[in-house]
Amino acid sequence: MSDIAIKVENLSKAYQLGDFGTGSLSSDLERWWALTRGKEDPFLKIGEINDRVTKGTSDVVWSLKDISFEINEGDAVGIIGRNGAGKSTLLKILSRVTSPTTGNIKIKGRIASLLEVGTGFHPELTGRENIFLNGAILGMRKAEIKKHFDAIVDFSGVERYVDTPVKRYSSGMYVRLAFAVAAHLESEILIIDEVLAVGDAEFQKKCLGKIGEVSKGEGRTVLFVSHNMGAVIKTCSSAMVLNNGCICTVGDVNEGIKVYNQIQTVNKSTSYCNNNPGKVFRQITIQDEHNIIKSEFGYDEKIDLCIKFDIKQDFLNGNVGIKVLDIMDRCVFTSEKKISEIAKTVGGAGVLVSIPPNLLTPGGYKVTFAVHIPNIVLIELINDIIYFDVLETGSEFYLFSGADLGCVFVNCDWKLL
């Protein structure tokens, strides 16, 4: 077994919500008075878990609650979780930007964190001056920067502009230079937070390659936070899933991504239910092939829509259909079935509609359900209720996060002429 590089024990972090003003002074005084008498901090007793969607009763939330884990030397760990799961808080504590409320962390080796590229870049200074300044801010000695200077300039690909103030740089060049400095840090542990959301695809690939090289080639420990599951799969060997400030799982990266996908999103409905006898649709759920109701699917997962409805005499010759729209309300496709092919008589019926895997590109979608007699009458329409997300879990386009790739993957035939 390899040595432990980072050991985290019972780590918690509480944040105070709301505005700081006259009111918070009195609670500060109260806390101070309790602490000087050696009592427990009254501020922390009332903390709640951090669920951004439900409105809490207290002003204090635990962004991280009592987490413990160990990371071995040379591991590349992806930290994943929804927004507000505590990922950034964890990285901030690890990189000593803020301190934990309770618990402790033990670290072996030098730690360098990259929570943002180009921290401390001064627009008036030249690329050369900024390489030195930024390197020093990230913890390099001047001699180290000198040693790596040529490699940094080479990696960034901005040789020609190195003596030009960075305010004249294009944003792409700026990011290239900034990442190049960070990529040459000589530390045993590297912490990276979603910095790859910038730069063009070629450069993103270069960055990911560098991260992989750092962890696999040089045997350094890497912690990598990203929403881009494709990037996580490609660069990390294991994953840690955070949800509401707690660790859901630590382990194999594929396993981790599965767990992440199963975490329910509360603000998007995955089911519809109506018992009014005048209505047609009774129950609709969206689920995976294991019948687990959820709203987030990997791009290579099958998406099942389970529809239960009452068939009535007046539309026995009608159709039941679904329409999938993307977040910009573009219709992606429509699928229909003749009711006469499902049932011959009136009464309750159920159908399972499967959207094939590897079809929809990563993004948000919603489904519209309808029963109608084509070109004659619309019997019932269910709109804006069922939503789901397709996640980037390592498709061939994972490097183009944010770009509009259209809504479907098409496996075209490419032939050499």
Partner 1 sequence: MIIESPRQHWDLEIKPQSGVFDLHLKDVWDYRDLLWLLVRRDFVSFYKQTILGPLWFFIQPIFTTIIFTFIFGHLAKISTNGSPAPLFYMAGTVAWNYFADSLTKVSTVFKDNANIFGKVYFPRLIMPVSIVFSSLVKFGVQFLLFVILLFYYFFQHDGVQPNWYILLFPVVIFLMAVLGLGLGLIITALTTKYRDLAFIVAFGMQLMMYATPVIYPLSAAPAKYRGIIELNPMSGLIETFRYGFLGAGQFYPGAFIYSIAASIIIFLLGLVIFNKVEKNFVDTV
To partner 1, the closest distance from the beta carbon of 4 in angstroms equals: 8
> Which of 18, 19, 20, 328 contacts partner 1 by CB under 8 A?
20
Could you tell me the two tokens for 332?
A: 């992606």
- Taking CB under 8 A as the rule, does residue 16 contact partner 1? yes
> Which of 19, 124, 329, 396 contacts partner 1 by CB under 8 A?
124
Closer CB to partner 1, 24 or 170, in the complex: 24
- Taking CB under 8 A as the rule, does residue 72 contact partner 1? no
**C-alpha triplet 103, 108, 109: angle, nearest 5°:** 135
- Taking CB under 8 A as the rule, does residue 308 contact partner 1? no
Phi and psi for 348 in degrees, rounded to 5?
Answer: -70, 140
What's the rounded Cα separation, in Å, for the pair 3 and 6?
A: 9
To partner 1, the closest distance from the beta carbon of 116 in angstroms equals: 5
β 296-298/377-391 pair status: parallel
Burial annotation 301-337 (CB, 10 A radius, 16+ → b, else e): bebbbbbebebeeebeebbbbbbbbbeeeeebeeeee
To partner 1, the closest distance from the beta carbon of 381 in angstroms equals: 48
Closer CB to partner 1, 91 or 371, in the complex: 91
- Taking CB under 8 A as the rule, does residue 42 contact partner 1? no
Residue 146 gets which letter from DSSP?
H
**What 3-state class would DSSP assign to 341?**
helix
- Restricted to residues 159-178, the positions that interact with partner 1 (CB under 8 A) are 165
> Which of 96, 147, 279, 330 contacts partner 1 by CB under 8 A?
96
For residue 325, give every residue at least 6 positions away whose Cβ sits within 8 Å of its Cβ, in sequence order, or none: 331, 332, 365, 366, 367, 368
To partner 1, the closest distance from the beta carbon of 11 in angstroms equals: 9
Q: Which amino acid is at 255?
A: E
| Number of residues near partner 1 (by CB under 8 A) | 47
- Taking CB under 8 A as the rule, does residue 109 contact partner 1? yes
Closer CB to partner 1, 119 or 265, in the complex: 119
- Taking CB under 8 A as the rule, does residue 80 contact partner 1? no
Q: Are 64 and 11 in contact (CB under 8 A)?
A: yes
Could you tell me the two tokens for 7?
A: 């050991």
- Taking CB under 8 A as the rule, does residue 122 contact partner 1? yes
What's the rounded Cα separation, in Å, for the pair 122 and 167?
A: 8
- Taking CB under 8 A as the rule, does residue 119 contact partner 1? yes
Closer CB to partner 1, 137 or 151, in the complex: 137
Residues near partner 1, by CB under 8 A = 4, 7, 15-16, 20, 24-25, 28, 70, 92-111, 113, 115-116, 119-120, 122, 124-125, 129, 132-133, 136-139, 141-142, 165
